[in-house]
């Protein structure tokens, strides 16, 4: 029997980069949150795979392209010593197109579980929206809510990825 892996699923905007209240697709406006490189290094050292799962509705709205999302991901990777193992994103928006990949649906997480042979019980999702927590719950993954959106009591609620990392590494 093969050993299952463990992972941290990371929402992008508001967790890894600063939430600016609008779509972020230009690398010069993609500002990495304080403590992210150090937090990712700590999680990686603890044996976690690091997987970004992000809704990118601006693609469906024609505001930017998948290549723009990849450019921001490349900037993040460069700042974090290439610690990230994968990027999954949904390019859908309900006003334009539906997708089972779009959170609160869990297909992005389920794809990663299959690809990386993950044990959901050993995984976490860190996000700044209740839809991130819902996607994690649907995939059997524990969640930690960061930032301003009030929690509903089903997930720890902390200030940022640094605080979430402290909880996950307890």
Q: Where do the domains of the chain lie, and which CATH numbers do they carry?
A: 7-168 (3.40.50.1000)
For the chain, 170 residues long, the average pLDDT of each consecutive 10-residue run is 90 96 95 98 98 96 97 98 98 86 97 98 96 97 87 78 97
Does 13 qualify as catalytic in the annotation?
yes
Catalytic residue among 13, 91, 128, 160: 13
pLDDT score of 57: 94
Dihedral sign (CA 88, 92, 94, 98): negative
pLDDT score of 89: 97
pLDDT score of 62: 95
pLDDT score of 3: 85
Does 128 qualify as catalytic in the annotation?
no
pLDDT score of 94: 83
In the chain, which ranges are E strands?
Answer: 7-10, 49-55, 86-90, 124-127, 142-146, 157-158
């Amino acid at each position: 029997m093969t050993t299952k892996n463990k992972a941290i699923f990371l929402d992008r905007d508001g967790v890894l980069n600063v939430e600016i209240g609008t779509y972020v697709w230009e690398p010069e406006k993609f500002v990495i949150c304080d403590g992210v490189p150090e937090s990712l290094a700590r999680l990686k050292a603890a044996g976690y795979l690091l997987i970004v799962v992000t809704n990118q509705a601006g693609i469906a709205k024609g505001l930017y392209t998948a290549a723009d999302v990849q450019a921001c991901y490349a900037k993040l990777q460069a700042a974090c010593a290439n610690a990230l193992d994968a990027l999954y994103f949904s390019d859908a928006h309900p006003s334009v197109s539906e997708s089972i990949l779009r959170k609160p649906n869990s297909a992005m997480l389920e794809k990663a579980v299959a690809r990386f042979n993950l044990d959901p019980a050993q995984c976490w999702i860190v996000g700044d929206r209740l839809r991130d927590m819902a996607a994690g719950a649907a995939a059997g993954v524990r969640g930690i809510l960061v930032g301003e959106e009030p929690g509903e009591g089903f997930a720890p609620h902390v200030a940022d990825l640094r605080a979430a990392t402290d909880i996950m590494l307890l």
